[in-house]
Amino acid sequence: MKPRVDHIHITVEDLGRAEKFYDRLLPLLGFDTKLKETDRVPAHEYKIIEYHHNLISIGLVNQRKAYSREKPNRRKAGVLHHLAFHAENREEVDAVYEEVRKLPTEIIHKPQYYPDYCPDYYAFFFKDSEGIEYEITSFDRDRYFPA
């Protein structure tokens, strides 16, 4: 088996706000919003908006009312710390950065090299509309982690 992630579902505080944000973000990462679909299971207080790509799907799930007063904390057990997307090269990282900074987002770190990770590791970090951290990175993954 190859370690390929099929889909990721992220619980968000405000599904409507998150949908508006991800409708703008995910096309920058190669997603086609025409492949977006929604579903709900009222008996479980469950609503999902799922964005599909042939490599991975990303779903946004509403939080349950019981958790509405809790704020996201990426250092809490069971919570996503951050999610990184791999770009082909530095130029692609920079191009995505220029578009992401136009979104209602918090840029944590502008594009730069992180030589402590590896000599050619280039990335930027930002938070989405829900406070979830993302990274767009480029480095020669095959060089450091050969198949």
Average pLDDT, stretch 91-111?
Answer: 98
- pLDDT confidence of residue 32: 98
- pLDDT confidence of residue 71: 75
**Percent with pLDDT over 90 in the chain:** 81
Three-state secondary structure of the chain: CCCCCCEEEEEECCHHHHHHHHHHHHHHHCCCHHHCEEEEEHHHCEEEEEEECCCCEEEEEECCHHHCCCCCCCCCCCCCCCEEEECCCHHHHHHHHHHHCCCCCEEEEEEEECCCCCCCCEEEEEECCCCCEEEEEECCHHHHCCC
Take residue 134 and report the two structure tokens written for it. Answer: 């993302």
Average pLDDT, stretch 98-125?
Answer: 98
- pTM for the complete prediction? 0.91
| Edge-to-edge strands, sheet with 83-86 | 83-86, 133-138, 122-127, 106-113
Would you kindly state where each structural domain of the chain is located, as residue ranges? Answer: 7-144
More confident residue, 72 or 38: 38
Average pLDDT, stretch 18-41?
Answer: 97
- pLDDT confidence of residue 80: 83
Average pLDDT, stretch 118-145?
Answer: 96
- Tell me how crowded residue 49 is: count the other CB atoms within 10 A of its CB: 21
Does the structure show a pLDDT above 80 at 102? yes
- pLDDT confidence of residue 144: 93
Q: Which whole-number Å values give the CA distances from 67 to 23, 89, 107, in the listed order?
A: 25, 40, 27
- pLDDT confidence of residue 67: 80
pLDDT range class, residue 65, cuts 50, 70, 90: confident
- pLDDT confidence of residue 70: 79
Residues 6+ apart with CB under 8 A from 82: 74, 125, 132, 133, 134, 135
* C-alpha to C-alpha distance for 80 and 3, rounded to whole angstroms: 18
pLDDT range class, residue 72, cuts 50, 70, 90: confident
**CATH topology for 7-144?**
2,3-Dihydroxybiphenyl 1,2-Dioxygenase; domain 1 (3.10.180)
Average pLDDT, stretch 45-54?
Answer: 96
